[in-house]
Homo-oligomer: A and B are copies of this chain.
């Protein structure tokens, strides 16, 4: 096994190449293609597709079966960032040190590029010849559920409605379960599905998937207080400025860290119970918990 950092780099390269191929092959040269490519090439950690591929690998699935749906998932994530950055939403001018889509192009183009990426995400799975028809249908259905009105989009709406309001820890977890949790959960569920994980393992890995969503979010909130602005690519304290409810605000930074450790233990325990503890998934849990950007 190579080191995690090298593993992450390998997977990122693979996913970036694949994403560019899809955008190039499934759109026509012009402004929409340029805007899709701009946001795809803006990069990012590619956490969701990497988690999907690592889970598929842990359960013995062929990499070829996972790369398409991993790319599709990253397109959903990318479109959501383009739309979330719009003036009517979070109104962000910069992301990862580059102008956001509506700043680089214009608002209309950013809306349409997001729509095009969302549409393409289904097409990619529907056309994936390394999957049989039942696998394609299952993955499109689960990804839609995780990203639409019962998942990410609903979470984004809840998040916006909770701005300027005091929310309880319970409400905060409900928002994050939808807004970021469900796509992260999908990455694990889809990987386990492709690896044909058995009933018990599937149950355990689902527990892990849910813990991973919360670990990711708590660390995001902690970085917004204690992180390095250059590394995370946005000013420190922006959650507080935007009057967003966060874990450190509700529990203090130390309390948030403790809560996160609790979820890390749950995740590692579930991984063991699912029989895949010696895999990259274990290192990925620690990475998600301790990442500095």
A132 neighbours in B (Cβ, 8 Å): 133
Does A93 count as interface, using CB distance less than 8 angstroms?
no
Q: A28-B150, A112-B157 are in contact. List 12 more A-B contacts (CB 8 A).
A: A28-B149, A30-B154, A36-B149, A83-B111, A83-B115, A114-B115, A116-B154, A119-B148, A123-B140, A123-B141, A123-B145, A126-B144
Does A229 count as interface, using CB distance less than 8 angstroms?
no
Does A7 count as interface, using CB distance less than 8 angstroms?
no
Chain A, 102-140, contact with B by CB distance < 8 Å: what is the 0/1 string?
100011110110111011101100110000111011001
Q: Which residues 172-222 in A have Cβ within 8 Å of B in the complex? A: none
Interface size on A, residues (CB 8 A): 50
Rounded to whole angstroms, the CA-CA distance of A160 and B112 in the bound complex is: 11
B157, A31: Cβ atoms closer than 8 Å: yes
Question: Which residue from chain B places its CB closest to the CB of A136 in the assembled complex?
Answer: B137
- With A28-B150, A156-B112 in contact, is A120–B136 under 8 Å at CB? no
Interface residues of A (CB under 8 A from B): 26-28, 30-33, 36, 79, 83, 86, 88-89, 102, 106-109, 111-112, 114-116, 118-120, 122-123, 126-127, 132-134, 136-137, 140-141, 144-145, 147-150, 153-154, 156-158, 160-161
Q: Pick the most buried of A26, A30, A126, A160: most chain B CB atoms within 10 A of its CB.
A: A126
| Contact partner, A141, options B33, B127, B154, B160, Cβ 8 Å | B127
Number of copies: 2
B134, A122: Cβ atoms closer than 8 Å: no
Rounded to whole angstroms, the CA-CA distance of A153 and B120 in the bound complex is: 11
Rounded to whole angstroms, the CA-CA distance of A127 and B158 in the bound complex is: 26
Rounded to whole angstroms, the CA-CA distance of A270 and B96 in the bound complex is: 54
Question: Which residue from chain B places its CB closest to the CB of A83 in the assembled complex?
Answer: B111
A82 shortest CB reach to chain B, Å: 10
A to B CB contacts below 8 Å, 28 in the list: A26-B148, A27-B148, A28-B149, A28-B154, A32-B154, A79-B115, A83-B112, A83-B115, A86-B108, A88-B102, A88-B107, A89-B111, A108-B160, A109-B157, A114-B115, A115-B153, A116-B149, A118-B118, A119-B144, A119-B147, A119-B148, A119-B149, A120-B149, A123-B140, A126-B140, A127-B141, A133-B137, A140-B140
- With A149-B33, A157-B31 in contact, is A126–B137 under 8 Å at CB? yes
Question: Which residue from chain B places its CB closest to the CB of A32 in the assembled complex?
Answer: B157
A160 neighbours in B (Cβ, 8 Å): 108
| Contact partner, A26, options B26, B109, B149, B161, Cβ 8 Å | B149
A107 neighbours in B (Cβ, 8 Å): 88
